[in-house]
């Protein structure tokens, strides 16, 4: 079931349902892509029709971040769960490990994808790391050929939004991958360069606060969170 939040059609599923659906997509013999919008995406998509189209065209649209969950509540259409992209990605790594499948990591600064891959293989020894590529390339087509030649099943695309979503929508089906996931800064986390908030903070819905504490210069980006809530409230009044 889909739930619309300020123009974006989120999949309203439990974590178990999402993971089961992801596993199914990964085993199907055609390309699928997954997006994980947060409040910044919602505001960007308002001004960028192509980004909005690409988000709503995804096979799974997952609510990343407490701001999306609060917006849904304000709109009177609560979501069943919040599912950060990185957690969905981790669940798909488990499935890939069972399949003894092939993984390609695209994005982040030079060297980060390799280190992320090395660490992923430590916990998922049956995965074949078939390729890596940093996210600061000029020639999109050249990168496409590199990914396609590596014949991945699962592809993490970590270029930041909206670049990663547009890349997946434009080139994904030519990669031969079964499932691509747009995951922002996830490779930095997998590589141990950036730490996620401790579980206690995550459970309280305060991951954003932890991140801000660690990286105060994100304040400008995060200031968008309340703006989305205000927009959701405005929309609720209109609907009533
Ligand atoms: N990035 C990239 N290519 C670019 C711009 C960014 O590979 O042209 C990477 C960047 O190194 C970082 C991630 O994309 O690893 C950006 O993460 P962002 O902060 O947007 O995502 P979030 O942390 O919000 O998930």
pLDDT in tens, 196-237: 889 888 888 888 888 888 888 888 888 888 899 999 999 999
Atom of ligand 1 nearest to the CA of 109: 11
pLDDT, tens digit, 9 for 90 and up, residues 24-71: 999 999 999 999 999 999 999 999 999 999 999 999 999 998 899 999
Q: If you take atom 19 of ligand 1, which residue's CA is the nearest one?
A: 185
Indicate whether this model's pTM tops 0.85: yes
Among 66, 104, 107, 214, say which to mutate for ligand 1: greatest number of ligand atoms within 8 Å of CB.
107
Q: DSSP alpha helices (H): ranges in the chain?
A: 15-27, 39-47, 49-56, 66-74, 85-99, 112-123, 140-150, 163-171, 186-190, 199-203, 207-214, 219-222, 224-239
Ligand 1 midpoint to CA 77 (Å): 30
Q: Across the chain, what does the average pLDDT equal?
A: 95
136 Cα to the center of ligand 1, angstroms: 10
> What are the tens digits of pLDDT across the range 95-124?
999 999 999 999 999 999 999 999 999 999
Q: What secondary structure does DSSP assign to 199-217, as a single string? A: HHHHHTT-HHHHHHHH-GG
Pairing of strands 154-158, 8-11: unpaired
pLDDT digits 0-9 by tens, 184-199? 999 999 999 988 889 8
Q: Which of 39, 135, 143, 156 to mutate to test the pocket of ligand 1 (most atoms within 8 A of CB)?
A: 135
Q: Is 214 in the pocket of ligand 1 (CB under 6 A)?
A: no
Does ligand 1 lie within 6 Å of residue 158's CB atom? yes
């Amino acid at each position: 079931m889909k739930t619309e939040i300020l123009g974006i059609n989120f999949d309203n599923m439990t974590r178990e349902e999402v993971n089961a659906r992801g596993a199914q997509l990964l085993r199907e013999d055609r390309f699928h892509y997954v997006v994980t919008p947060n409040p910044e995406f919602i505001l960007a998509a308002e001004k960028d029709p192509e980004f909005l189209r690409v988000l709503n065209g995804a096979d799974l649209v997952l609510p990343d971040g407490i701001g999306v969950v609060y917006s849904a509540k304000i709109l009177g259409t609560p979501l069943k769960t919040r599912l950060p992209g990185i957690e969905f990605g981790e669940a798909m790594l488990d499935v890939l490990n069972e399949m003894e499948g092939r993984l390609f990591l695209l994005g982040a600064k030079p060297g980060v994808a390799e280190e992320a891959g090395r660490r992923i293989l430590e916990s998922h020894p049956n995965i074949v790391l078939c390729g890596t590529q940093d996210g600061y390339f000029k020639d999109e087509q050249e990168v496409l050929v590199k990914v396609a030649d590596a014949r991945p099943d699962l592809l993490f695309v970590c270029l930041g939004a909206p670049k990663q979503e547009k890349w997946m929508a434009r080139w994904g089906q030519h990669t031969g991958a079964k499932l691509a996931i747009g995951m922002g800064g996830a490779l930095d986390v997998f590589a141990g360069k950036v730490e996620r908030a401790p579980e206690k903070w995550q459970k309280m819905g305060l991951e954003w606060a932890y991140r801000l504490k660690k990286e105060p210069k994100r304040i400008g980006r995060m200031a968008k969170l309340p703006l989305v809530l205000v927009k959701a409230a405005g929309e609720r009044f209109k609907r009533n």
